Amino acid sequence: MAELPPPRKARGGVLIVGGGFGGVTVARELGWRGATIVNVQNSMLFTPMLPEVAGGIIDMRNAMTPLAMVCPHAEIIPGRVTDLALKHRHAEVQTDGGLRLRIEYDNVVVAVGAVPRTFPIPGLTEYAVGCNTVLDALYLRNQLLRLLAAAEAEPDPERRRRHLTFVFVGAGFAGVEALAELHCLAQDALRYHPTLRDVPQRWILVEGAPKILGQIPSRLGQYVQDRLGQLGVELRLGTRLVTVVDGRAALSDGTECDAGMIVWTAGVRANPVVSHFGLPQDERGRVPVGPTLQVEGYDDVWALGDCAAVPNEANHGDIDPPTSQHALRQGRRLGKNLLALQEGRAPQSYNFRSLGQVATLGRKEGIADLRGIRLTGLSGWLAARAVHLMQVPRRPQRIGVIGNWAASLFFPGNLVTVAGLVDAPSLGTGSAPPVASPVRLPEPPNAAPLIEDGGHFCR
């Protein structure tokens, strides 16, 4: 193994592992003092807008912000931390270019976020796709449009029905919003697929709990449920996905259906990479921290965001949920605490009262629970977008998002497909095959091989 180059010091003495909401907010709070951020990509993703990216409403570029722009005083290293030597205060980093570095620090902040929470369901990681990354969102849009085009050309009723069946597993905010936005995109696309206008589509939302959006007041949850019913969505509550075989989904209530697309949005879990850092973990794999966001047992190790169990004094010490608004406020407090230590002051406890919960349900439809003020319909939609807009970190992205939203009021969503985006981003390891690809299945035994050439199928 090649020797490491001489060690380098983290800028400002602070090493931040992860470039999501929490890590970026810490770096911004440190200001001119700087920090070194190690992240797998050179940008920060605004995850609450992924459903609208999938629905063709928001341009991908407006849901992502380059770290160098949002944190101008920070050193950005695209790569991964492969080892964290807590006793010696240094980290080993593998950069995207293959260079191995040793970075010394005075304080390290662990903010590696979360990954999709999966279960040992046969076929899940092979045939389902999440909605957690930009690639996921682009694939969902691409696959939906490809399936509509394939259904229009398909003479076989059974295969056409398969192309027009969409199953979403998980009725939290991500699942409900993704389904609503993709449903709107499908209706936009029907303008250009006239032969499908009278052909029924099947949208199924599966949830293991007895109700959807269990975190919000029951009245708002009932409103969402009624709204989805108006869209023709089949709600399967108290139901689980049992197996997925060649795109055929089997549910615990006995339902089986061939689906063109299976979307897994059944929550997230702490990024398992924290298990390699030698830090304590709770039963959910999160790093437990104290009220000041310092990892239990360490004065120079801090954690926040979805990978940490952060007690909130405003809620009597209850652990914060994994949301962007909480990660942002945790980052502000952690950054202020680092500054306090540098200036010889004592760090303060984290205390944040949630702004509430919001969700969009397609065009001009949404819900909001803003500290007891409950809004639905157009007012809920406007409130949800206002809350999301406040959290976008840079003015150019905010202007771009407003422009995208304004255009969506008058024009259909983005209906462009990408020829090369055929394989689904996998929930597990490796690349998942497309679920019910527009290839006609099964093929006659004497048929010539079907070859995809530049997104077109030919023999």
- What's the pLDDT score for residue 392? 86
Peptide bond into 393 cis (omega under 30): no
| Contact call for residues 129 and 435 (beta carbons, < 8 A) | yes
The distance of Cα 143 from the centroid of its chain, to the nearest Å, equals 18
Per-residue pLDDT in tens (0 to 9) along the chain, 459 residues: 556 778 999 999 999 999 999 999 999 999 999 999 999 999 999 999 999 999 999 999 899 999 999 999 999 999 999 999 999 999 999 998 889 999 999 999 999 999 999 899 999 988 999 999 999 999 999 999 999 999 999 999 999 999 999 999 999 999 999 999 999 999 999 999 989 988 999 999 999 999 998 888 889 999 999 999 999 999 999 999 999 998 899 999 999 999 999 999 998 999 999 999 999 999 999 999 999 999 999 999 999 999 999 999 998 889 999 989 999 999 999 999 999 999 999 999 999 998 889 999 988 899 999 988 999 999 999 999 999 988 888 888 889 999 999 998 888 888 888 876 767 776 754 333 334 444 333 444 444 443 333 333 333
- What's the pLDDT score for residue 2? 57
- Spatial distance between the Cα atoms of 152 and 201, rounded to a whole number of angstroms: 12
- What's the pLDDT score for residue 36? 97
The three-class DSSP label of residue 317 is coil
| pTM score of the predicted model | 0.88
| Contact call for residues 14 and 36 (beta carbons, < 8 A) | yes
The three-class DSSP label of residue 426 is coil
- What's the pLDDT score for residue 442? 41
Partners of 451 in the beta sheet? 458
H/E stretch holding 398: helix 395-408
Question: Between 173-189 and 134-153, two packed helices, what is the crossing angle to 10 degrees?
Answer: 40
- Spatial distance between the Cα atoms of 258 and 128, rounded to a whole number of angstroms: 13
Which tokens sit at 54? 């999938």
Q: Distances in Å between the alpha carbon of 227 and those of 177, 187, 205? A: 12, 16, 13
CA count, 13 A, side-chain hemisphere, 401: 24
Of 55, 111, 128, nearest to 425 by C-alpha is 128
How many C-beta atoms lie closer than 10 Å to residue 276's C-beta? 11
Phi, psi of 360 (to 5 degrees): -100, 145
The distance of Cα 412 from the centroid of its chain, to the nearest Å, equals 24
**Exposure string for 121-159, b = 16+ CB within 10 A, e = fewer:** bebbbbbbbbbbbbebbbbbbbbbbbbbbbbbebeeeeb
- Spatial distance between the Cα atoms of 398 and 57, rounded to a whole number of angstroms: 14
Alpha helices in 268-376 (DSSP H): 324-342
Q: What domains are there in the chain, each with its CATH number?
A: 8-116+269-342 (3.50.50.60), 124-265+411-438 (3.50.50.100)
Of 326, 334, 290, nearest to 306 by C-alpha is 326
